[in-house]
A = this chain, B = another copy of it.
Amino acid sequence: MQPFALSAVEASELIHKRELSCEDLARSTLAQIARYEPEIRAFAYLDPEAVVRRARELDKLTPGHALHGLTFAIKDVIETFDMPTTYNTPAYASHRSGKDAACVATVRALGALVVGKTDTVEFGANGRPAATRNPHNLMHTPGGSSSGSAAAIAAGMAQLAFGTQTGGSIIRPAAYNGVFGFKPTHGVTSSEGAKVYAPSLDTIGWYGRSVADLSLVADALRICDEPSNVPVALRGLKVGLYRGPHWDKVDASGKAALESTAAALAREGAEIVELALPADFESLSAAQQIIIRQEGRRSFLPELLSRPDVMHPLIRQTAENVVGYRHSDLVTAYDTAAMCRSKFDALFRDSGHLDVVLTPPALGEAPYGLDDTGSPACNSIWTLLHAPCISMPTGLGSGGLPVGIQMVTARFGDRRLLDVAWAIQRDLGLGVAPCAHMRSEI
C-alpha cells in the first residue's frame, strides 16, 4: 500500500516507529493529488514545495503527538497564516489572514502537515458551488459545503480534513463521498478564524478514513472529558432508529443502508427501538431556517455594504433579509431549540435510555450534476440541537455512489458516540467506500 492510502492511525504508527518519514508520506500524497486533482478539483490552493519543506522540518523533530506528520486538508473558509483564504468568493480572491484559525493552529502545534485549502460552497453558505467533483463519479456532486475536504479524503489526497457545518455541510459530503465524517457538539471546539455564517449553529468538524482517525483529531482538540472507554460491546446497546420526516424522499439505496445496518446491529445483540420525537420537534427545521437567515443577515452585512456588486444573489438575499424575518421569530426559534435540546438529551439519560440514534445522513446517493449539492434535510435538526453527529459509509448504492448511516447522541456525548461508532465499524466491517482513484494505487 502506498503511504497516501494509509489511514491516519496507520500512518501515525509508522511515523512514530520511524518506518515512514513525513517527507515520504507528503510526497506520496502530493503525487496522488498531482495525478487526480485535475479531474477531482478538491483544492482551492496548493503549494507542494512548501509542503515538502515543512515535512522535512517535521522529520527533524521527534514525533510527539499522534498527528505528527499526518496530512491535513483545510476547508477554504478556515484561515491559514501561510495560504490564502478565499471563501470561494470574488471579494476575497486575494485574502490572506495573518494567522491560523484555532483548529488549524491546534493541529499544527501538534505536528500535523497542512497540504492545502479545499474548495467550498461560497462562504460555506449557499452561493457559488465548489468546482469539486465526486471521486466516485465525476458527473455527481460531492455535496456541500465542505465539498473539497470530503472528496480529498475519498480520493486519497489527504488523511484528515477540516470542514464546517451550519446545516448539513460535514455529514452530507461524508455520506456522498463514502468517508467518515464527524460534527462534534456545537461549541466544543473553537471556531475562531472560520468564516462566521450563523454562529449559534456553525461547528468545526472533520473527515477521516475510520472512526479511529476521527478520534485522533477529537483528542487533539481535547473535546472530551474522558479518555476512550473502548471496547464497547454491541450486545445490549440501545439504538433509537429514526427514519425521520423525510423518509419518503430517501432513495432505495439510502433506505437499504439504514435498514440493513439496523438489522445487522440487532443480529449482534443491540436493541433497536423505533424512535418518535416529541411533536414540538416538528418545528425545528423551520426554526433552523429562521436562525440561519437572521444570523446570516448580520454576518454578511459588511459585504453587503462594501462589495454588493460581487455578492452572490443568494447571499445578498440573506443579507437584505428579503424574507422579512423579525427578531420575535428569532426569539421563538432560540427558545424552542433550547427546550428541545434539553428534551433530546433526556432520551440518553433517563431510565431505559438510548445510547445513540441511528438515522440517514442524507437522502441517499449524491445527486447528478455539480450545481445542486443536495439536501440538508437529514442534518439541520441535529445541528440545531447542538448534538454530535457521525457519518459512516456502509457501501455503494444501486447508482454506484456511496451510501451510509448517521449516528447522533446527546450534547457533549462525543466520546460515547465515537466509541460506539468504532465498535460498529469494527463489528460490522465498515470502511471507506472504494473509489477508483484509491483502488488503482493500492
Q: Is A330 close to B, CB under 8 A?
A: yes
The answer to whether A327 and B190 touch (CB under 8 A), given A99-B95, A221-B301, A302-B100, is no
A28 contacts B by Cβ under 8 Å: no
A412 and B330 within 8 A (CB): yes
Is the CB of A106 closer than 8 A to any CB of chain B? yes
Say which one of A208-216, A227-235, A263-271, A335-343 lies at the interface with B. A335-343
The answer for the CA separation of A196 and B102 in the assembled complex, in Å, is: 10
Is the Cβ of A301 less than 8 Å from the Cβ of B187? no
Q: Quick one: which of A350-372 are within 8 Å of B by CB?
A: none
Query: B306, A412: Cβ atoms under 8 Å?
Result: no
Q: Does A328 contact B (CB under 8 A)?
A: yes
User: Which single residue of chain B is at the shortest CB-CB distance from A200?
Assistant: B187
Contact of A411 among B190, B302, B331 (CB under 8 A): B331
- Partner pick for A109 among B99, B200, B302, B338, CB 8 A cutoff: B302
Asked if A98 and B97 sit within 8 Å, CB to CB, the answer is: yes
- Given that A199-B199, A225-B327, A326-B225 are contacting pairs, would A102 and B411 also be in contact in the complex, using a CB cutoff of 8 Å? no
Residues of A163-182 at the interface with B, using a CB-CB cut-off of 8 Å, are none
Report the minimum CB–CB distance from A309 to chain B (whole Å).
Answer: 13
Contacts of A95 in B (CB 8 A): 98-99
| A295 to B188 CA separation, bound complex (whole angstroms) | 8
The answer for the CA separation of A191 and B225 in the assembled complex, in Å, is: 28
5 further interface pairs, Cβ-Cβ under 8 Å (given A97-B98, A199-B199):
A106-B301, A109-B302, A190-B196, A327-B412, A331-B345
A-B contact pairs, 19 of them (CB 8 A): A95-B98, A96-B98, A97-B98, A97-B99, A100-B302, A102-B301, A105-B302, A187-B199, A187-B298, A190-B196, A190-B302, A199-B199, A221-B298, A221-B301, A222-B301, A328-B412, A331-B411, A334-B338, A335-B342
Could you tell me which A residues sit within 8 Å of B by CB distance?
95-100, 102, 105-106, 108-110, 187-192, 195-196, 199-200, 221-222, 225, 295, 298-299, 301-302, 305-306, 326-328, 330-331, 334-335, 338-339, 341-342, 345, 411-412
